[in-house]
Amino acid sequence: MDWNSVSTEWEVDCFSRPVLKDGKKMWELCVTDANAVYRRVAQMKPTRVNSVVVQKILTIFIEESKVKPRVVRFYRKVMKNMLTVVLTSIK
């Protein structure tokens, strides 16, 4: 990966997938930079989708990246409250 091409503007999305595991939909947390060079995905069980788990995963993604985000955006209105809590606590 060319770390020089990775943007400091990141986009985060958290959503349920139509993939069933044990009869329940799986959830994914997706992170990408504005240039779509850096991409990470984490799967979560539906019972584990909460701000604490999402914060831990996002913190790991940030720590493992050589380029740290300055701006983090998200677009899914349904997840606004949880992602706002997560991003505020990571600052």
**How much is the pTM?**
0.88
List the chain pLDDT tens, one digit each, 91 residues: 899 999 999 999 999 987 777 788 899 999 999 999 999 999 998 888 999 999 999 999 999 999 999 999 999 999 999 999 999 998 6
Both tokens of 45, joined, read 């069980």
Pairing relationship of beta strands 9-21 and 71-73 according to DSSP bridges = parallel
- List the beta bridge partners of residue 39: 32
DSSP class per residue in 27-57: EEEEEEETTS-SEEEEEE-GGG-SHHHHHHH
| pLDDT at residue 36 in the model | 94
